[in-house]
């Protein structure tokens, strides 16, 4: 729009406008039909895009999404749209890999564009050219290998997938619908919160298992002693005072072990680009 204004071109208001989710937009401007969108929208309108195929391929390899423009059913040009990758995103991807997590990108973008971005970030798997309603189906395909799925999203179209995934993680700066559909909400808009949430959940589960083991083992061993199981053979009895102290010690140990979670630090990327988990104890690999 700014370029058109600088060129002195007249910008007319559309007489009609339609947004087609997953495809593009269509409008009537000055009595002419203008269509702007992905190649699938052009194919839907029976508009041949072959003469710009090389340009689209080049833009896709550069990590840009090619969009076609057509006027009155004839191809008029090609546009490139690119979302800049946040500086923290490569760190988040590396941290997730350090946790043993595989990453798949589900996107409606052109396959070439998606694969170019995936190569740049080190993403393991790409599911591209997915319509908004196809994200849940994509999750089902990824789950066929017996994998547990955590889906990260922030838009209205992500809400069904967030609800369908084993764990839905919404970005706190996203839409209210996405936040309401998710199991976990990251307060910041940074993806670095995802490996932090996963590492914290693993550390918490490990702590719970430790406490359960201690509580069962401790009580299994000492309750019979307090009941006098050793008295017939050895004449030993546990005084009520010592039994109360032993019971209190069990609770103190469990609470103290749980408080160790306060020392948790989220996964970090060292200055040399290697992964470091700033946790007091190593986080186990997923089973």
Report in angstroms the alpha-carbon separations of 218 from 206, 238, 259.
18, 15, 19
Confidence at residue 36, expressed as pLDDT on a 0 to 100 scale = 93
Which residues of the chain, if any, have pLDDT below 70? 268-287
Q: Which residue has the tokens 């932090």?
A: 196
Q: Are 69 and 35 in contact (CB under 8 A)?
A: yes
User: pLDDT tens, 16-49?
Assistant: 898 888 888 999 988 889 999 988 899 888 999 8
Confidence at residue 268, expressed as pLDDT on a 0 to 100 scale = 61
Confidence at residue 267, expressed as pLDDT on a 0 to 100 scale = 72
What are the residues facing 29 on neighbouring strands?
A: 32
Confidence at residue 286, expressed as pLDDT on a 0 to 100 scale = 37
Q: Are 20 and 26 in contact (CB under 8 A)?
A: yes
Confidence at residue 70, expressed as pLDDT on a 0 to 100 scale = 92
Confidence at residue 63, expressed as pLDDT on a 0 to 100 scale = 84
Report in angstroms the alpha-carbon separations of 43 from 47, 75, 143, 160, 198.
6, 11, 31, 27, 42
User: pLDDT tens, 130-181?
Assistant: 887 889 999 998 888 788 999 999 888 889 999 999 999 998 888 888 889 9
Report in angstroms the alpha-carbon separations of 142 from 56, 119, 151, 182.
28, 19, 11, 19
Q: How far apart are the C-alpha atoms of 181 and 164, rounded to whole Å? A: 9
């Amino acid at each position: 729009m700014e370029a058109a204004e600088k060129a002195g071109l007249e910008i007319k208001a559309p007489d009609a406008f339609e947004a087609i989710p997953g495809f593009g937009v269509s409008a009537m401007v000055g009595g002419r039909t203008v269509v702007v969108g992905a190649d699938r929208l052009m194919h839907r309108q029976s508009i041949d895009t072959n003469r710009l195929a090389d340009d689209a391929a080049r833009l896709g390899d550069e990590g840009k999404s090619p969009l076609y423009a057509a006027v009155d059913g004839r191809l008029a040009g090609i546009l490139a749209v690119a979302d800049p990758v946040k500086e923290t995103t490569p760190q988040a991807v590396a941290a997730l890999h350090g946790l043993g997590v595989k990453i798949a990108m589900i996107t409606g973008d052109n396959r070439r564009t998606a694969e170019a971005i995936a190569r740049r970030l080190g993403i393991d798997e790409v599911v591209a050219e997915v319509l908004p309603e196809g994200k849940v189906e994509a999750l089902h395909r990824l789950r066929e290998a017996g994998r547990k799925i955590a889906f990260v999203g922030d838009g209205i179209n992500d809400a069904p997938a967030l609800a369908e995934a084993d764990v839905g993680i919404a970005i706190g700066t996203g839409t209210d619908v996405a936040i309401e559909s998710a199991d976990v909400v990251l307060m910041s808009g940074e993806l670095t919160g995802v490996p932090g949430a996963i590492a914290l959940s693993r550390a918490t589960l490990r702590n719970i298992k430790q406490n359960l083991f201690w509580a069962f083992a401790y009580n299994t061993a000492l309750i019979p002693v307090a009941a006098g199981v050793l008295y017939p053979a050895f004449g030993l009895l546990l005084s009520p005072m010592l039994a109360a102290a032993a019971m209190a010690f069990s609770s103190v140990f469990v609470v103290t072990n749980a408080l160790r979670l306060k020392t948790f630090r989220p996964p970090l990327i060292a200055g040399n680009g290697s992964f470091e988990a700033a946790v007091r104890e190593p986080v186990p690999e997923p089973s």
